[in-house]
Amino acid sequence: MKSYRSAAAQAGIALCAALSAGLAQAQALPPRIAHSKIIKIGVNAIYPPMEYLDPESGKLVGFDIDLATALAKQLGVTVAWQEAGFDQLLPSLTTGRIDIILSALNDSPARRETADFIDYLNSGVQFYTSVARRDINQPADLCGKTVGTSRSTSFPGDVRSWSDSHCVAAAKPAIRVEGTNDNAAARSELKQGRLDAAAQGSETVPYVSALEPGVFKSIGTPFGGVQHGIACMKSDAPLRNALLAAFKQLLANGTYGALIGKWNLQASAVRQAAVNGVPSP
C-alpha cells in the first residue's frame, strides 16, 4: 500500500508540474493569441521539402509545416496558415497580418533590424547542374557561366559574392547570375539548357535530386552558411520567448529529431536553440 501511495503521489506531482508548465507557457503568450488560441503563420509554399503543396491532396506539407504544428501543440494553440509570396512575408509580419514567419527564412543581420529569429535549421548555398554537363564538375568551372537562382531570395547576392571572391579575384570571368521566379523555375530552365547551373539551399538539393534521379548533380560543398529562423517582431518578446521555450522542449523530448529524420535533413539539424545567431542554453 505504501508503494502504491508513493507512485500515486509521484504521478500527481508530475501531473501538477506539467499543468503548471503548460499554464505558465500559455500566460507567456501575447493576449491576442492566448485568448484566440490561434497563431497566424506566414508561409511561401514552393520550397520542398521545407514547405509545399502536396500534388495529390493540395494540402500544405513539409518540415516547416510539421515543425509549426508541433510548436502549436506545445503552446496549446492551432495554426492558421497565411500563404503569400516570399517577398511579402516580412511586410505581412510588420503590418500584423501574421504573427510569425516559418518558411525557410534565413536569419540575416539585415533582417534582424526588423525581426528576431529563433534559429532552427542550418543551411547554405549549393551549386548544382545537369548530369549531362560533363564540363562542370567543380565550383571553379562555373566562372564565366550562367547560374540561375530565385530572385526573391538572398541567393543572387550570395552567388555574386562567391564569384567576386573565387572567379574575379583569380582573374577569371565572373559568373552571370540569372534571377528566376523561384527555384522550380531555375530547375526547369536548367533542364532546358537555358542555364549552365543553378543554386539553392543546401537542405533542398538532395530532396529535388531524389525526386528526379540521374538528372542533377551537386557541385562542390555548400557555402555562405546561414540558419533558417522563425521570425517574430522585435516588439513581440512574449511570443518569441514562448516559441523559444516550446522549441527547446521539442529538442529535449525528441520531436525535433524525429521530424529531421522524417524529412532526411540530418545534415542540417541544429543541436541547440539560438536567437539571432546566439545560442540560448
Going along the chain from its start, the domains and CATH numbers come out as: 2-123+238-279 (3.40.190.10), 124-225 (3.40.190.10)
| pLDDT single digits (tens) 140-166 | 999 999 999 999 888 999 999 999 999
Instruction: Calculate the CA dihedral of residues 43, 70, 100, 110 and round it to 10 degrees.
Output: -80
Taking CA atoms, 68 is separated from 3, 161, 168, 197, 252, in Å, by 41, 33, 42, 33, 16
The pTM assigned to this predicted structure is: 0.79
Kindly report the three-state secondary structure assignment for every residue of 147-214. Answer: EEEECCCCHHHHHHHHHHHHCHHHCCCCCEEEEECCHHHHHHHHHCCCCCEEEEECCCHHHHHHHCCC
User: What is the maximal distance between C-alpha atoms in the chain?
Assistant: 84
Nearest to 112 by CA among 269, 274, 280, 281: 274
Query: For residue 23, what pLDDT is reported?
Result: 41
The β-bridge partners of 82 are 42
Which pLDDT tens digit goes with each residue over 174-226?
A: 999 999 998 889 999 999 999 999 999 999 998 888 889 999 999 999 998 88
> What is the Cα–Cα distance from 99 to 89, expressed in whole angstroms?
11
Q: What's the confidence (pLDDT) of residue 178? A: 97
Percent of the chain clearing pLDDT 90 (strictly above): 81
pLDDT in tens, 95-142: 999 999 999 999 999 999 999 999 999 999 999 999 999 999 999 999
What pLDDT score was predicted for residue 233? 97
C-alpha cell at 119: 534559429
